[in-house]
Structure 1
Amino acid sequence: MTETVESLFARPLLPIANEADATATCRAAFPHIAGQHGQATVVHVIEKAGGAPDKAGVEQREELADEVFDIVARIADEFGLDVKTELRFATDVAEEILDVADETDATAIVFSPREGRGWWDLFSGDVRKHLVHNDERPVVVLPGSDETEPDSTTDDGDR
């Protein structure tokens, strides 16, 4: 049983919504990935409005992604991990996460729940349901970390 659980962390995909989510998810997942000598991929999907005006400009959203990936890189260094990052733009966030999971041959989709809006928006309703029910790979929800980066309730422009 332990071997099966540990193999989930061989090539996990970590979808990240914002800075606080990056901290919580990486702190929860990276010890497992390092223990497996795994290769993680972190994806940040910028939701496109699909014809409607975007709530924030592309430049602002890309700056958020850079901040998210800086946090990921810093925590990955602490664990001696080489982590791949993917920035994607899509109208269907869940489908894009699944596409990245397919492209990277992810062994699981791994995240840590957050109380802030960014996590809830990314993994609420249809997105969460789509990830869990429309893919054959496991979805792993890890306990969150008490350590946080910027306040998760801060509007990051993606909502």
Structure 2
Amino acid sequence: MAQTPNDSSRDLLSHVLVPVAHEDDARTTATSLEPYRPTEVTALHVVEKGEGVPDKTPVEQSEEAATEAYAAFRTVFPDANDHTVYARDVVEAIFEAADEVDASAIAYRSRRGNRLVKFLSGDRSLKLVTQANRPVIALPEANTD
């Protein structure tokens, strides 16, 4: 019988999908995840597309940011997979990527922002934890001591 994301017998950390935004975020997120020792890890970078409006950044610049983020992530998880997607809705793209790579869970580190920024962005963290079809792990701040 194939396991589904909702199969409670599946190890939570067997294959963790980790969204990363840029190089520093990737390094910090990987450091936060490392103590939990997941079996397999896939770093995900979502290139935000405008769909009829100008993109936030040129695609080439976004792809370069993804490459740098993956390299930073691999300083902590050398065998990590990477997965890049192009989408307008970042949270939906994370869910779709989790399905594509058959992730057992999604692990993320909340990005700081004031209430206005969260309101305007639709508070992605809230959507991530309330609409996922698999476990979502909110990582604590990395201890940089």
Structure 1: which 5+ residue stretches go unaligned? 148-159
CA-to-aligned-CA distance 1:22-55 (integer Å, 9 cap, x gap): 1111001123135xxx111110001001111113
Q: Which amino acid aligns with 1:109?
A: I
Structure 2: which 5+ residue stretches go unaligned? 1-7
Count the aligned residue pairs.
Answer: 132
Query: Residues 62 and 96 of structure 1: is their aligned pair in 2 closer, same or farther, counting only changes over 3 Å?
Result: same
**TM-score, structure 1 as length reference:** 0.73
CA-to-aligned-CA distance 1:66-112 (integer Å, 9 cap, x gap): 110110112213xxxx2110011111111111011112221111012
Aligned pairs for 1:81-100 (under 5 A) are: 82-100=79-97
Say whether 1:103 aligns with 2:81. no
Query: Residue 157 of structure 1 aligns with which residue?
Result: none
- In 2, Cα distance between the equivalents of 1:54 and 1:25? 25
Higher helix fraction (1 or 2): 1
1:127 to 117, 124, 129: 124
Query: Residue 136 of structure 1 aligns with which residue?
Result: 133
Structure 1 stretches of at least 4 aligned residues deviating more than 3 Å after TM superposition = 114-117
Equivalent pair of 1:46/1:90 in contact (CA under 8 Å): yes
Taking CA–CA contacts closer than 8 Å with sequence separation of 6 or more, which of the two structures ends up with the larger relative contact order? Answer: 1
Say whether 1:62 aligns with 2:66. no
RMSD: 2.4
- In 1, Cα distance between the equivalents of 2:91 and 2:43? 14
**TM-score, structure 2 as length reference:** 0.79
